[in-house]
Amino acid sequence: MLTLRERQKQRRRDRIFRTAINLFREKGFHQTTATDIAKASHVSRGTFFNYYAYKEAVLLDFGAQLLGELREQALAELNQGSPPLEVLRRLWNRLAEVSERERVLLSPLAYELLNPDPQRAKAAFEALPLGDLIAEILYPLKIQGRLRQDMSLERISRSMADVYLLSALRWAAYTPGRQLKDEMNKFLDLMLEGALSREVGKPAKAARTSS
């Protein structure tokens, strides 16, 4: 059981979080300052920084919540017997949909993963373990020997997570008029072509079809 003080702190954090997300959506992330968030949350600027060391940290909470929901859906599908590649494809499409819907929020969030400050980049990586989720989905294929053996599951999965990140960033910056889902699925096909094992000399297209 949380103490009264702990409940009050949690409610205050939740209020700051909701207020910040609403302001980011209304005004834009870069146009919203920590002072704006604090004022709208009815707290001091110092109090805001007590809960979030920098503005982007609010986005880490937002991304962690989204990824948690996606993880629950994906693992539920695996537990119900859905083939791992189908689960991965549905995850990929959900990522595309939420990235398009929350473009204002997810673009600066994605850049935070590339922050030149190693501490902030590490915080973003730990808050958004997409590679770990992909590894959970692909693990049954690893056990079945259906993944290539010269790369670890971790490396394959994190490479796929990197592909999502770069696809989303490039789409947001250069081609927002296109469907992100189409772009992401092209790159997923390319990644799976290299990740799935196949017999030596067997045509790649046939190998992918049989998987």
Least confident of 16-20, 118-122, 179-183: 179-183
Answer with the residue of higher pLDDT: 33 or 168.
33
Predicted local confidence at residue 167, as pLDDT: 87
Task: Give, as one character, the DSSP assignment of residue 147.
Answer: B
Amino acid at site 106: L
Note the pLDDT tens digit of each residue in 122-163: 999 999 999 999 999 999 999 999 999 899 999 999 999 999
Burial class (CB in 10 A: 0-12, 13-18, 19+), 96: buried
Q: Are the CB atoms for 158 and 132 separated by under 8 Å? A: no
Predicted local confidence at residue 169, as pLDDT: 86
> For the chain, what is the mean pLDDT?
89
Note the pLDDT tens digit of each residue in 46-89: 999 999 999 999 999 999 999 999 999 999 999 999 999 999 99
Q: Where are the domains of the chain?
A: 7-52, 55-190
Q: Quote the Cα angle for 151-120-181, to 5°.
A: 55
Using pLDDT thresholds of 50, 70 and 90, give the confidence band for residue 210: very low
Answer with the residue of higher pLDDT: 173 or 165.
165
Predicted local confidence at residue 197, as pLDDT: 74
Q: Which fold has domain 55-190?
A: Tetracycline Repressor; domain 2 (1.10.357)
Which own/partner pairs from 72-75 qualify as long-range (CB within 8 Å, at least 24 positions apart)? Answer: 74/133, 74/136, 74/137, 75/136
Predicted local confidence at residue 175, as pLDDT: 76
Predicted local confidence at residue 198, as pLDDT: 63
Name the helix (H) or strand (E) containing 159. Answer: helix 153-174
Residues with Cβ within 8 Å of 189's Cβ and at least 6 positions away in sequence, in order, are 208
Give the whole-angstrom CA distance, residue 177 versus residue 171: 8
Give the whole-angstrom CA distance, residue 42 versus residue 205: 59
Phi, psi dihedrals of residue 189, rounded to the nearest 5°: -60, -40
Q: Are the CB atoms for 21 and 105 separated by under 8 Å? A: yes
Q: Does domain 7-52 have CATH number 1.10.10.60?
A: yes
Residues with Cβ within 8 Å of 26's Cβ and at least 6 positions away in sequence, in order, are none
Amino acid at site 138: L
Cβ neighbour number for residue 21 with a 10 Å cutoff:
21
Q: How many CA atoms lie within 13 A of 14 on its CB side?
A: 6
Residues with Cβ within 8 Å of 210's Cβ and at least 6 positions away in sequence, in order, are none
